[in-house]
Each structure stands twice: as structure tokens, then as C-alpha cells.
Structure 1
Amino acid sequence: MTYKDNYLKVRNTLALILGLNILVALAKLIYGLMTKTSSMIADGFHSFSDGASNVVGLIGIWIASKPADENHPYGHHKVETLSTIVISFALFIVSFKILVNSYNRFMNPVVPKINVFSFIVMILTLIINILVVRYESKKGKELNSSILISDSKHTESDIYVSISVIVSLIAIKLGYIFIDTLISAIIAILICRAGIQILREGINVLIDGKMIEAEKIHKIVMEIEEVIYCHKIRTRGKQNHIMIDLHVGIDKNHNIDYCHKLSHRIEDTLKKDILGVEEVIVHIEPASEDNTHT
């Protein structure tokens, strides 16, 4: 599958998830405002942040899919990672706003108007969220897309949030009104936690963190008969675009043409055996007299 084909599949998945997230957010937010239930309102904003992350993701992968050019010889792949970082900051903003609202509601309590429709709205949106997470996570792994995987984690937190809101509704019916404000604050903390997780993963890509254990690459390369040793293995990139560079020692009597063909064979082997590997730079060097490297 080409990067463009992959981009189109990721884009279509995000567009579908965006529509569902907006539907879920509107249902929670509108009914939360009607019943003055702060936990439902907070959950509605949480779902809207899911939709916002979808929009950021769509923009990010559109730019990331552009081919390499004179000013960007390595392509635009890291724009997708930047998009996930924008998503994390959006989560921090939503979290802060919900905490402020929770504090205001704690200082000035409001009795929510809970009825059977409140439970119906939350249960239906919960079911949609579960289906969305399963679908988006599956597609993220299938397409090896960091934006889909990070977005599915964001939406996954919505499941626990919705469950907590249902618990809050039950508590309110039993007369424990303060639970509504407490759950709203907990939701804010969960949103912030999801943002930190996404931010850490994005930063790891931007600072060229290790993507694959060197031992795994070493084992694959050493299975090639002509290779005497393999060292100085480095990896970087993101899940769907991993870059590897390594040094390989072979018999010093081989000519340039042989070395060139061998380097391509090593590259093809790594791309075939490790999902997500897109670029491999092989430095061929002559083995020493005792067939070791210095």
C-alpha cells in the first residue's frame, strides 16, 4: 500500500469518526444544558474535543501526505506528529475549563433535573463510543497510523467518562447532588491524563526516540549468510514511517557491485520483516582479519 493510499484510508476513517463524535457531543451537551447536569455538560465538551482532534488529524495527515520537495527532502511526515501534540494541548484547555466550571458549581450548587431520558442519552452515546474506539483502534493498527491510534486513546477515555456520568446520574437521583460536581472534576483529570500520554508519544517522535529494539534488527540482519557482523544500529521516526541506519561487516574481498546488491537485500529484508519500516541506510564495511568490528 502506498503512502497516499494509506492517507486516504486514514482520512476516510477520521471523517466517519468526526461525524459520530459531533453527534454524540451534541446529544450530551444539549441534554446536559437542558437538565443543568454539570457532569453531562463536561462529558459533552469532552466529546467535542474528540471532534476537534479529528479535524486537527485530518489537516495533519493531509499535509503529511505531501511528497518530499526541495525544501523538505525527507517529506512532511512529522506534521502528523505535530497534529497529535496540538490534540494534547486542546485536551489541556478543555480540562482546565471543566475544572473551573466544577469549582463554580461547587461554590454555587444547582440541582439537576434528572429523568429517564438522561439515562437513555448517556447509554446510547456510551454504546456509540465503544463501537468508535474498537473501529478506530483496529484501523489505526491496520494502517499503522499514529494519529488514529492516539485519537482512539482519546475517545477511549470518553467511555470511562460516560460510565462515570451514569454513576453521577444515579447518585443525583438518590439525593447526592455534590457527586455531579465531583464527577465533573474527575472527568477533567482524566482528560488531562489522556493529553499527557499523547504529548509524551508525540515528543518522543520529534526528538527521534528509539522505535525498535536494536536486538530485533540485529537478529534479522545476522540471518543473512554474507553478513559477518552488524552494529551501530539506530532507529527513529513514527509507527508508520520508521527509519533505520546500521553498519554491516562483510568479507573485504567483495566488490562494490556485490556490496550494493547486498545492502538492497538487507533493506528489503528489514522492510518485509518489520511493519512500518520505510527507509533503511546500510553502511557496508570490511570485516577485520579476525572477522570482527572495531
Structure 2
Amino acid sequence: MISYLINKFVPNAQDTKNQQVRSQVGRLCGWIGIFNNILLFLIKFMIGTVVQSVSIQADAINNLTDAISNIISIISFRISNKPADASHPYGHQRTETIASMFVGLIIVVLGFELAKESFTKIIHPGVIDFRWVTIFILCISIAMKLWMYSYNKALSKKYESSLLEATALDSISDVLGTTAVLISTILSPIFHFNLDGYMGVIVSVIILINAYNLIKDVINSLLGMAPDEQLVKDIKAFILQSNQVLGVHDFIVHNYGPNRNFASAHVEVNSQNDIFEIHDEIDNIERQVKDKFQVELVLHMDPVKVNDPETDEYKAIVSKAIKECNEQWQFHDFRIVSGPTHVNLVFDLVVPFDEKKTKQEIEQEIMSHINVSKEVYLVITIDYPFA
């Protein structure tokens, strides 16, 4: 049914990278979610009031907050579709991430309110009121939420939407919560003990755990997460296909929302080749990467001496010394400044983020593994593996 509605109301729905398409799909899912959640809220709240079940009423209110979350997602998808402007040159796609944060905060408030009501119910349990209509409604609710989870999860992968992913996670938490309520409704009459409040606590814990995971992912995204390793490998491999490129390093990726990736990298090129030919090739690579990977790439040229005996000799010495010090260390941008009395060895050293040694300690350790007749000095820039 969802596929039918998307194909009917969203032109070019198969163009999953198109921001306009993503926005329309997200808003359509939002409207479907609002209808489903309000319907569930009305039915379950009435049943919960009739049978005096706080867990069913709380589950109903959870559906109402889900509808509010759907409204937020609709607004978010509309804003994120706005083109870049002078104040936001990288676009508005991060609106989805911010909206996910609001959804998470709403879920947190819900979780705490439910926990408070549930503890009250444990202290002051009510009369058990078993009705088959309650079982029927809860089963319908579980089935509907499973359906909502399945299509939101599938569409989140297809259209690479963190907000649809958040909606899917919210739906599966509702399934778990409603299942807990269903178990309470069935078992309470059997054991002659009102489990309503206890199941309400379980539901609140599930809600809070999902809220925590959602907010954690949102905060990580806003702080700047490491880029997808496979994407980095694929782009590097593509760049290295060029005959003009000898090596790639300092690859950095910045994400500003779905399909809004910006990257920069340094490419080593032969210093003896024609600079205009190299520049032309780099322009072509940048355009091809944008078309193939949807990444705005900027390349910086690092000219290196090729087949220079003295440079190659010292580079091999430094490579051996670094490997003996720490196999996790890597270096690039190597060059030498050779004078009559000494040689400066200039390079960038890439160390892990958890490296404990200071720059001075690193230099001393590398120097202890270098044994040459001429006086040498290290000029090192410490780098970290951003990609």
C-alpha cells in the first residue's frame, strides 16, 4: 500500500538521491503516521478509560505523541528541502537531524511521565477489569505498529533518511510497549494480581532506552561522526585510478545532512609534470566524484620529487624508523631540504587519536631509530586519521 501511495503521489519516486523526492516521501509518511497514530490514540484511550488501565491509557498517549512527532517530521522535511542560501550555504538538510532531537526529547518526557504514573499504580493498584475487546484492540495496535515499523525502516534505507529511521525505531518501541500491556491484561486475571503498574514501568524503560539511543545518535551526528569507511575507500580508489595521482592523504569528509557531503583531500603529483595538465585532470576528478558519489570534492596538489635518489634514500630510512617505532603510525608529504651540514626531513605523521606520546617524545623515538652519517633534523606535523 505504501509503495502504491508513493508511486501515485510522488513523481520520480525511484530517484532516491533527489532531495525533492526525499522530502515528498518523508511528508507522505508523516501524514500516514498522523492518521494511524490518532486512530490508535482514540481507540486505546477510550478502552483504557473504560477498563481503568493506566498502562493502556499511557500507551494511547504514546500514540498521540507519535502523531506530534509526525507533524515535526513533516515540517522538518519541508524545511530541509529548501535550497542553500546566503545564510546557509550548505543547505538545510540538517533540519532532519534537529527534528530527530525534538522527537527524542518528547519521548523522554513521555517516558518519565509514564514511569511516575506506573509507580502510583503499583502503590495503589486498581480493580482488574478483563475484556476481550481490550485484547483485540491491543493486537490490532501491535499489528499496525509492526506495519509502520516495516515501511519506515525500508524507506529510511532506500532514501537514506535518519528521521524515517527514528520513526521506525519509535514504532518498534511501541510494539514492545503494547506487547507488555497485552501481557499485563492477560496475566493479571490469571494470577489475581494487578500487573498494570509493573508493565507500565517496563514500557517507560523501553521508551527511555529508545529515546537515549536516538538522542545519542543525533548528538554524534551534530558533533561530526567519522565518515563511512567504504565511501572513503571507494573515493580514494577512484582518485588513484588517475595516471597523474601518485597518492592520496588528508582525506576529510564533512556531512551537512542526507546527500550533502563535502570532502577535501591532498593528492601527490609528479613535480616535473606540466601543472596545467595536472590541474585539468584534478578538475575532471572532482566533477566525476560528484557525479558518481554525490560528494562535493576539493583536491589540493602536493608536488613531490619522483626518482630523486637522495629523497628516496631518506624516505626509506624514515619509513623503516617509523615502522620500528609503531606500526600504527603512517607518514606522508615527505620531502627533504638538503644543505652542506645537515638535512631537514619534512613530513606529516598520522597517529591514532588515543596516542599518549607528546610530539617531542615522538620525534625523539623516531630519531633513535635513524642512523645516518649526515646530521638530520625532523620537521614533523602531527595528523590524525580523519578518514
What's the TM-score once normalised by structure 2's chain length? 0.70
- Structure 1 segment 29-44 matched on structure 2, within 5 A: 29-44=45-60
- Structure 1 segment 104-183 matched on structure 2, within 5 A: 104-183=120-199
SS at match of 1:293: strand
Specify which of 246, 250, 261 is matched with residue 242 of structure 1.
Answer: 261
Tell which deviates more after alignment, 131-140 or 263-272: 263-272
Separation (CA, whole Å) in 1 of partners of 2:241 and 2:24:
36
Pair 1:211–1:27, CA change in 2 (3 A) = farther
SS at match of 2:245: coil
* Residues 65-121 of structure 1: CA deviation (Å, up to 9, x unaligned): 111111111111212111000111101100011011112112221124221100100
Equivalent AA in structure 2 for residue 163 of structure 1: T
Q: Which has the larger radius of gyration?
A: 2
- Identify, as 1 or 2, the structure richer in strand: 2
Separation (CA, whole Å) in 2 of partners of 1:201 and 1:240:
18
- Structure 1 segment 1-294 matched on structure 2, within 5 A: 1=15, 2-213=18-229, 214-237=232-255, 238-252=257-271, 253-256=273-276, 258-266=278-286, 268-269=288-289, 272=292, 274=293, 277-289=294-306, 293-294=333-334
Separation (CA, whole Å) in 1 of partners of 2:157 and 2:188:
40
Deviation for aligned residue 1:283: 2.2
Separation (CA, whole Å) in 2 of partners of 1:175 and 1:289:
83
Asked if the contact 1:154/1:194 (under 8 Å) is kept, the reply is yes
- Identify, as 1 or 2, the structure richer in helix: 1
Deviation for aligned residue 1:139: 0.9
SS at match of 2:153: helix
Tell which deviates more after alignment, 20-29 or 179-188: 20-29
Asked if the contact 1:211/1:239 (under 8 Å) is kept, the reply is no
RMSD: 2.2
Deviation for aligned residue 1:260: 4.0
Equivalent AA in structure 2 for residue 255 of structure 1: I
SS at match of 1:174: helix
* Residues 167-221 of structure 1: CA deviation (Å, up to 9, x unaligned): 1111122134332111101111111111111111111121122121244543443
Asked if the contact 1:24/1:125 (under 8 Å) is kept, the reply is yes
Asked if the contact 1:122/1:162 (under 8 Å) is kept, the reply is yes
Pair 1:169–1:249, CA change in 2 (3 A) = same
Gaps of 5+ in 1: none
Asked if the contact 1:208/1:236 (under 8 Å) is kept, the reply is yes
Tell which deviates more after alignment, 25-34 or 140-149: 25-34
Tell which deviates more after alignment, 57-66 or 80-89: 57-66
Q: Which has the higher contact order (CA 8 A, sep 6+)?
A: 1
Separation (CA, whole Å) in 1 of partners of 2:295 and 2:166:
21
Equivalent AA in structure 2 for residue 78 of structure 1: R
Equivalent AA in structure 2 for residue 227 of structure 1: V
Gaps of 5+ in 2: 1-14, 313-331, 335-387
Tell which deviates more after alignment, 69-78 or 217-226: 217-226
Asked if the contact 1:98/1:185 (under 8 Å) is kept, the reply is yes
What's the TM-score once normalised by structure 1's chain length? 0.90
Separation (CA, whole Å) in 1 of partners of 2:87 and 2:148:
38
Asked if the contact 1:211/1:242 (under 8 Å) is kept, the reply is no
Deviation for aligned residue 1:18: 2.1
- Give the 4+ runs in structure 1 shifted more than 6 A: none
